[in-house]
């Protein structure tokens, strides 16, 4: 089992950052305004969104981040919008109108499409000079 002092030496920056942002204390306050037992409790019950978890368990940090939650919510929104469009079109006999996806950060508003799609036969003709490839 690793001692508290050894653990802090190994993860000093992350522990100090979490302490500062979540409690207002720093590691410099240990022994003065912050007891060793309080620091031990803080570390044992650290938030999954904190720097310490990001450093030690990036898989847990990623799943607990708001970015992951927001991405999942945007995907759910898109799926529900598509289902709604299909249900509305079903009764009318018309083809469903494709809903616009929920905007994501960093997403391009308009993507450039270069070239056009071609059939497999045309692609084979252009690449191999034949209609089909055996």
Q: Are 50 and 14 in contact (CB under 8 A)?
A: yes
Whole-model pTM?
0.54
**Domain residue extents for the chain:** 4-64, 65-102
Token code pair at residue 21: 């942002």
Integer Cα distance of 57 and 60 in angstroms = 6
Question: pLDDT digit string (tens) for 55-74?
Answer: 999 888 887 778 788 889 99
Q: Which residue has the tokens 């650290």?
A: 46
Confidence of residue 6 (pLDDT cuts 50, 70, 90): very high
Integer Cα distance of 26 and 37 in angstroms = 14
47, HSE (Cβ side, Cα atoms, 13 Å): 12
């Amino acid at each position: 089992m690793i001692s508290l002092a050894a653990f802090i030496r190994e993860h000093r920056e992350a522990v100090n950052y979490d302490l500062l942002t979540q409690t207002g204390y720093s590691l410099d306050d240990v022994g003065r305004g912050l007891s060793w037992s309080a620091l031990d409790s803080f570390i044992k019950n650290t938030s999954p969104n904190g720097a310490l978890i990001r450093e030690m368990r990036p898989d847990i940090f990623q799943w607990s981040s708001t970015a992951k939650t927001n991405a999942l919510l945007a995907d759910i929104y898109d799926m529900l919008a598509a289902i709604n469009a299909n249900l509305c079109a079903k009764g009318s006999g018309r083809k469903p109108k494709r809903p616009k996806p929920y905007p994501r950060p960093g997403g391009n508003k308009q993507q450039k499409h270069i070239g056009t799609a071609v059939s497999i036969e045309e692609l084979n003709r252009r690449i191999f000079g034949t209609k089909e490839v055996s």
